[in-house]
């Protein structure tokens, strides 16, 4: 198994997502400019990634495959590239950057920030709980918090956010986030921080939590963010990067 085969596997996941998404009217139909309607077809890809990751916890075959991937990818590595510490946030940052330069996406600043905060809250909680309960050792033996990959989960949550906000504006704007996310997953393995199953699980979590955030936002907008009076709202979004646990605070002034 060569490095290029791993990259092919990661990008196959990306391409499968888009082949499913860009059907005649999308597998997820828009309710309005803010949210999207639930469709079970949208669960296929993240569910497959989650299943692969979970099965890999106990499967000797997948553990062996993990070891083979690690050996090929990390062979003869002299220097590690920490670009994954930053690339995980790049797709989400691109949403705000495009808006800043006048390229409007699906939602306004307030709505998209609530959606992203909801996604990060769900994703961060899910990742943290699984790291604590599984206690799987990292490939470089630096800790027992390998499963799942928090960097990859953040990257794919951000990628799905970019896709949902800009797929109707430009296919290339939307797809770019998934290439960055796949690269982030690759570098988590390259830097000897995660197994392939960690990365697959993180990708599934990231995609699914952002989809959930869009599905539930119309209800949140209707029942939680309904007051037209001037007020300040706050939302905490936890994060876990493998070593540090923290939270980002979103303040919204209406």
Q: How many CB atoms lie within 10 A of CB 80?
A: 14
User: Which residues, in sequence order, are CB contacts of 6 under 8 Å at separation 6+?
Assistant: 69, 72, 73, 186, 189, 196
The separation between CA 200 and the C-alpha centre of its own chain, rounded to angstroms, equals: 11
User: Which residues, in sequence order, are CB contacts of 230 under 8 Å at separation 6+?
Assistant: 253, 254
Per-residue confidence (pLDDT) for residue 157, from 0 to 100: 98
Quote the pTM value.
0.78
Per-residue confidence (pLDDT) for residue 59, from 0 to 100: 96
Per-residue confidence (pLDDT) for residue 222, from 0 to 100: 85
Q: Which residues, listed in sequence order, are joined to residue 246 by a DSSP beta bridge?
A: 239
Q: Where are the domains of the chain?
A: 3-74+82-253
Per-residue confidence (pLDDT) for residue 80, from 0 to 100: 76
Per-residue confidence (pLDDT) for residue 29, from 0 to 100: 36
End-to-end CA distance of the chain: 54
C-alpha span between 34 and 214 (Å, rounded): 8
Q: Mean pLDDT of residues grouped by 10 in the chain (254 residues)?
A: 47 45 38 63 94 96 95 78 93 96 94 96 97 96 97 98 96 96 96 96 98 93 68 52 55 53
The answer to whether 131 and 145 are in contact (CB under 8 A) is: yes
Using DSSP, state whether 155 is helix, strand or coil: helix
Q: What is the DSSP letter of 30?
A: B
Can the peptide bond before residue 251 be classed as cis, meaning omega within 30 degrees of 0? no
């Amino acid at each position: 198994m060569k490095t290029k085969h791993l990259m092919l596997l990661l990008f196959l996941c990306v391409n499968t997502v888009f082949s499913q998404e860009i059907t005649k009217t999308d597998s997820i139909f828009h309710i309005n400019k803010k949210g999207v309607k639930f469709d079970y077809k949208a669960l296929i890809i993240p569910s497959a990634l989650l299943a692969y990751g979970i099965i890999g916890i106990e499967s000797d075959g997948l553990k062996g495959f993990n070891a083979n991937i690690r050996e090929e990818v990390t062979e003869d590595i002299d220097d590690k590239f920490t670009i994954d510490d930053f690339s995980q946030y790049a797709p989400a940052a691109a949403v705000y950057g495009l808006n800043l330069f006048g390229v409007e996406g699906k939602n306004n600043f307030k709505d998209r920030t609530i959606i992203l905060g909801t996604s990060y809250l769900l994703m961060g909680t899910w990742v943290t709980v699984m790291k604590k309960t599984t206690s799987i050792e990292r490939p470089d033996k630096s800790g027992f918090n390998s499963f799942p990959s928090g960097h990859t989960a953040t990257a794919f949550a951000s990628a799905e956010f970019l896709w949902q906000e800009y797929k109707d504006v430009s296919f290339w704007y939307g797809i770019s986030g998934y290439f960055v996310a796949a690269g982030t997953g690759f570098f988590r393995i390259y830097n000897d921080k995660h197994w392939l199953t960690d990365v697959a699980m993180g990708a599934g979590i990231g995609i699914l939590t952002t989809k959930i955030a869009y599905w539930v936002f119309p209800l949140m907008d209707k029942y939680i963010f309904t007051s037209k009076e001037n007020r300040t709202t706050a939302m905490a979004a936890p994060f876990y990067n493998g070593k540090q646990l923290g939270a980002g605070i979103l303040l919204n002034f209406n």
